[in-house]
Amino acid sequence: MRAQASIMEYILMTFFLLVAIVSMVLFMGWWNVTQIAIDHNKLTGRNALMLLQDLSDSEYIALENSVLDDSRLTAIKMMESGGMDFCKDFDPVLGNSWFFEVRILDNKPSVECSFSRHPDCNTWTFCKPDQASKTIYNIPVNVFRKISGKNDIAILYAGVYR
């Protein structure tokens, strides 16, 4: 009887030791997955901020830092409507899965800019994603209206999506 109790004690101790080891392995796996998700969110946010900074002083759309040119924005819109895949062509410059939008703050309904509507428009949207999961940042900028020669206050929205 004593031998049987000692064997039973050994089996129970081994079982609890295995449960502790398996629990520890599962916990460490969960911890690593959580850390990877946190790092991914940080990098996505950093990419969106860098995109915003790059766009606000990009020679492609800006006259100078935080002063965007409406004629350059409209020209890019014309290239998009002309069949050029602007989003794919600028992936090497701006990274993958990006988008941006410029909205002039004029208390008028949003009118998407194109060659035929220029300068009576107030919104330029590029590479708008269909995905719901995106990170967006915005900053105030000026938009220089070449035809009227004045600056309008606008918001530059830029972001990345997954």
Whether 157 maps to a domain, the answer reads yes
Q: What DSSP designation does 112 have?
A: B
Domain that holds residue 139: 33-161
* Cβ atoms < 10 Å from Cβ of 123: 16
124 and 55 Cβ atoms separated by less than 8 Å: no
Whether 81 maps to a domain, the answer reads yes
Q: How many domains does the chain have?
A: 1
The pLDDT of residue 21 is 95
Extract the tokens encoding 13: 């101790």
Give the model confidence (pLDDT) of 57-109 as tens digits.
Answer: 888 888 888 888 888 888 888 887 777 777 787 778 777 788 888 999 888 88
Whether 20 maps to a domain, the answer reads no
Whether 15 maps to a domain, the answer reads no
Whether 25 maps to a domain, the answer reads no
The pLDDT of residue 26 is 94
Whether 112 maps to a domain, the answer reads yes
49 and 139 Cβ atoms separated by less than 8 Å: no
pTM confidence score:
0.73
101 and 129 Cβ atoms separated by less than 8 Å: no
